[in-house]
Amino acid sequence: MLLEWWSRTECTLFTDQATMQRLGKEHVVIILNHNFEIDFLCGWTMCERFGVLGSSKVLAKRELLCVPVIGWTWYFLEIVFCRRRWEEDRDTVVRGLQRLADYPEHMWFLLYCEGTRFTEKKHRVSMEVAASKGLPVLKYHLLPRTKGFTTAVQCLRGTVAAVYDVTLNFRGNKNPSLLGILYGKKYEADMCVRRFPLEEIPLDEKEAAQWLHKLYQEKDALQEMYAQEGVFPGQQFKPARRPWTLLNFLFWATVLLSPLFSFALGVFASGSPLLILTFLGFVGAASFGVRRLIGVTEIEKGSSYGNQEFKKKE
């Protein structure tokens, strides 16, 4: 609701007509670059506009389980969590993916193959690893981690029909933030969507990993084109926003905020200093909690994962 209705951020897809007709009508694995603080919000709004928000899944870091409300909700929505240490994650990830193999609704399973958000420091370390492995240098992405991708494709083969490669950027060289969204700042997001039938992904794990590396070289070329020309290739489509997020927000705001306002008026009307201070303390704690939630999305406060982990063998 904040992205679509409050900030009125626009999301434009660059793809072909055949892919547009399939969106929301098949099980897919989605690969999205991880450069921006609100890339997950842009992904969610596309899920909502194509009717698959409730059945969208993601391979997420386990720390997000501790995030109030969001983390707890994801647990019950069968989100697959990992510690980002493959020796510990293998069995957990495989079990989570196997549970999704017979998912009854059209499902979008999101992978951030870079494993962490892009920063200059992480990029420098990542490209050192790429050079040591004889892989081409990437300008706009980190070296993709292949284990999660190859495992997801292997476990969901027979369920998933295709891989959607999504490359995201923002017009005007903007670097949007969740705080900007809360302040009502409008952004213009562009997404290049390419569909690859699962049959095109090699069965062999090593060959599938090579396919992913080649994909990221293509994503890098797409970002270079966007930097030079301000557009991605393909036809432009603007999926219409649906009213359900706004109606959902208005309903819960009415249900929850009306009693809260009545309670606040009663507190101040009571004239009790202790009661007023307690209430103000509660409001302050809630504000602090919201600010911490926002901090989870801020790149400069992100984890150090990737600064040294790239130097370890996958």
Evaluate whether 59 touches 111 at the Cβ level (below 8 Å).
yes
Q: Render pLDDT for 121-131 as a digit per residue (tens, 0 to 9).
A: 999 999 999 99
pLDDT at 308: 52
Other Cβ atoms less than 10 A from the Cβ of 69: the count is: 9
pLDDT at 303: 55
Which position has the token pair 């103000």? 280
Structural domains in the chain, CATH included, are 1-240 (3.40.1130), 244-301 (no CATH)
Q: Which residues contact 14 (CB under 8 A, 6 or more apart)?
A: 190, 191, 192, 193, 231, 232, 233, 234, 235, 236, 237
Q: Render pLDDT for 167-222 as a digit per residue (tens, 0 to 9).
A: 999 999 898 998 899 899 999 999 999 999 999 999 999 999 999 999 999 999 99
Amino acid at 273: P
What are the residues facing 80 on neighbouring strands?
59
Mean pLDDT over residues 236-245, rounded?
Answer: 94
Helix (H) or strand (E) holding 147: helix 146-156
Max distance between CA atoms of the chain, in angstroms, equals 72
pLDDT at 306: 54
Report the distance separating Cα 270 and Cα 4, nearest Å.
Answer: 40
Start-to-end C-alpha separation, the chain? 38
pLDDT at 300: 56
Helix axes of 244-270 and 273-295: crossing angle, nearest 10 degrees = 150
What are the residues facing 191 on neighbouring strands?
13, 168
The pTM is what?
Answer: 0.85
